[in-house]
Structure 1
Amino acid sequence: MLDSTLLAFTGAILIVGLLFFVILSRRKRFKIHPSNGRFVSSDMQLGAVPTFRRTLPQLSNELARVRRYNRPLTLIVLRIESDQLLLDLKRSLVAETGNGSVSSYHNIMQTIQLVFSLVGSILSESLRESDIATYDVSNNQYVILLPESDLTQATQTVRRLKKLLFKRTAGHLVAGIAQFPSDGLIIEDLVRKAVEECTQRSHEKVYNQRKQIDR
C-alpha cells in the first residue's frame, strides 16, 4: 500500500514538472505585453534590432548633429497589425475547418512568430547604414531614425518596408512619420508625434473596414 502511494506521488511530481517545463518553454518563445495584450517575440527583444531605451543616447546625438548642420531628419514608428493578422487567420481557418480547433490555434501562433522574426532581418536588409532601427519593448513598436531624409524619402521607405513584410509574411504594418524640426525638437517629441499619426491611421483603417462590411 505504501509502495503504491509513493509511486503515485512520484508520478504526480514528474507530471507537474513536465507541465512546468512546457509552459516555461512557451513563455520564452512568446511574451504577452500587459499593456496591450499583443504577442512579443523574445527573439526580437534580444536579436539584431537594439532596444529603443538602450539606443536613445545615440538617437539624441544624431539629432544634435543634424540640428548643428541644419540637415533633414525624420523618425518613423512602425507597428505590426498582429491583432488583425490573428483575426484574419482565425476567420480563414474557421471557414476551412468549421471550428477553431487547437491545431488551428497553433497554426496561427506559428504565423505570428514568423512575422515577428522576419521584421528585424527586413529592417537590416532594407535600411541604409546611416539609418538607426530600434525596438521599443514597452510599447511593442519599432522606432526608426532616418538622418538626411525628408518627409518624401521617409514615406518611400515606409512603402518599401510594407511591401517587403507583406510579400514575405502577408503581415501588415501601420506607420507614423514625424519630421524634424516641425514636429519636435527632441527624440521623445518626434516619437510622440509619430505615434499619434500611427494610431490615427490604425483607427482610420478599422473605420474603413467596418464601412465595407456594413455595405
Structure 2
Amino acid sequence: MSQIRKDLILIFATLLLLFHLEQFTLTVRPGAVSYLVLLVCAAFIFTIALPFARHLNLWLSSAFWLGIYLVYRMVISAQRPFLAGVDIYVTISEVAILLFSVYLAHRLMASLQNAEGVIEKMTFAGFTHKTRPLDEAIEDIQLELTRSRRYDRPLSVLVVKPMSNSMKLELRQNLVNLQEDMVERFLIASVGQAIGKVVRRSDIVIEQNNQDRYIILCPETSPQGLEILASRIQESIHQSVGINTLWGASSFPSEALTFESLLQKAEAKLNDESNPDLSPRLVEHDHAEKPAAPSLE
C-alpha cells in the first residue's frame, strides 16, 4: 500500500509543477491558452478507469498521448512558437511532464491491480478446496482411519511446508509493500489455494497456522500414489505462488496405525529433508511447463 501512497504524492507534485508551468507560460505569453492540464488529467483517467487501457503497453500509451500533444501544438495552438526562443524550454517541460504523468498513471494502475489481487486472494474467494484447522478435522480423520482398518484399505498422511528461505525471497521480491506478517499469511493462504487445485474431493486438507504448514489426509492412496500427489502439489505451489516446498509422508498400516503416529512419521521425514542437499523429496522447479503426471490410482 505504501507504493500507492508514493504514487499519489508524485501525482499531486506533478500537477502542482504543471500549475506553475502554466503560470510561467502566461507570464511569457499573456493570453496564451494551454490545455496540458486537461491532457494530463485525461491521461490519468483513461489509463486507470478504462478496462482496455490497462492492457496497453507503456511505450504505446506514451506515443499515443505525445501524438495528441503534438497535434494540439501544431494545429490548435499554432499561434504559439513551437521551438523558438524561450518556448523551446516550455515545450520540453510540457513533453517531459506529460510523459512522466503517463508513466505515473501506469504505475498507479499496476499498484492498484496488485492490491486488488492481494485482497481477492486473502478473502479466500478463489479456493476450490476449503482447509480446516486440525481440531475441527479430528472426527473425519478418525472416521477415515476406522474405514481403512475395517476394509483394509490404504491411507496416507502428507505434510507440506514452504521452505523458509524461498518464502522470505518471495516476500522481498513481490510483496514488500505490505506488512510482513500480512504478506506471510497471504503466502500461506496461497499455498493452500494451490494445494486445493490438485487434491481430490475425498482428501482432507488441514491447515496448521502455528507451524506454517498443511497436513493432507489421503484415503485410498498408496505410497506410490502419494509420491505422485506430492509432486503435483509442489508443481502447483511453485507455479501459483513461486516458492519451493518440502514434504514428508507416511502410510497406514505399513508405517503406523494411528493418526498421531502417522503424523509423527511424516514430521520426522520432513525434518530430515530440511537440508536441500540431502533431501530426495525436495524438488526444484523451473518455470517451464511440465507434462501431466500419471493418475494416482
Short-chain TM bin:
0.5 to 0.7
Closer, same or farther: CA 135–53 of 1 in aligned 2, 3 Å? same
What are the within-5 Å matches in structure 2 for residues 67-146 of structure 1? 67-87=149-169, 90=172, 105-106=176-177, 109=180, 112-146=184-218
- What's the CA shift for 1:80? 1.3
- What's the CA shift for 1:132? 0.7
Q: Deviations over 1:163-207 (max 9, x none)?
A: 1111112111110010111221100000000001011111x3166
SS in 1 for 2:161: strand
SS in 2 for 1:142: strand
Question: Which residue identity does 2:163 align to in structure 1?
Answer: E
- The one of the two structures with greater contact order (alpha-carbon pairs below 8 A, sep at least 6) is 1
1:172 corresponds in structure 2 to: 244
1:55 corresponds in structure 2 to: 137
- What's the CA shift for 1:105? 4.3
Asked which structure has the greater CA Rg, the reply is 2
Question: Which residue identity does 2:194 align to in structure 1?
Answer: I
Question: Which residue identity does 1:126 align to in structure 2?
Answer: V
1:187 aligns with 2:259: yes
1:197 corresponds in structure 2 to: 269
Unaligned runs of 5+ in 1: 1-41, 94-102, 209-215
User: Quick one: distance in 2 between partners of 1:194 and 1:85?
Assistant: 21
2:146 corresponds in structure 1 to: 64
Aligned length: 155
Contact 2:133 2:208 survives alignment (8 Å): yes
User: Quick one: distance in 2 between partners of 1:118 and 1:136?
Assistant: 14
User: Quick one: distance in 1 between partners of 2:239 and 2:221?
Assistant: 25
Closer, same or farther: CA 72–88 of 1 in aligned 2, 3 Å? same
Closer, same or farther: CA 134–61 of 1 in aligned 2, 3 Å? same
Question: TM-score, normalized by length of structure 2?
Answer: 0.46
User: Quick one: distance in 1 between partners of 2:184 and 2:263?
Assistant: 25
Closer, same or farther: CA 205–43 of 1 in aligned 2, 3 Å? farther
Contact 2:170 2:242 survives alignment (8 Å): no
SS in 2 for 1:175: strand
Contact 2:246 2:270 survives alignment (8 Å): yes
User: Quick one: distance in 2 between partners of 1:135 and 1:58?
Assistant: 15
User: Quick one: distance in 1 between partners of 2:278 and 2:234?
Assistant: 20
User: Quick one: distance in 2 between partners of 1:148 and 1:191?
Assistant: 17
Q: Which has the higher strand share?
A: 1
Closer, same or farther: CA 88–125 of 1 in aligned 2, 3 Å? closer
SS in 1 for 2:255: coil
What are the within-5 Å matches in structure 2 for residues 23-38 of structure 1? none
Question: TM-score, normalized by length of structure 1?
Answer: 0.62
Closer, same or farther: CA 85–70 of 1 in aligned 2, 3 Å? same
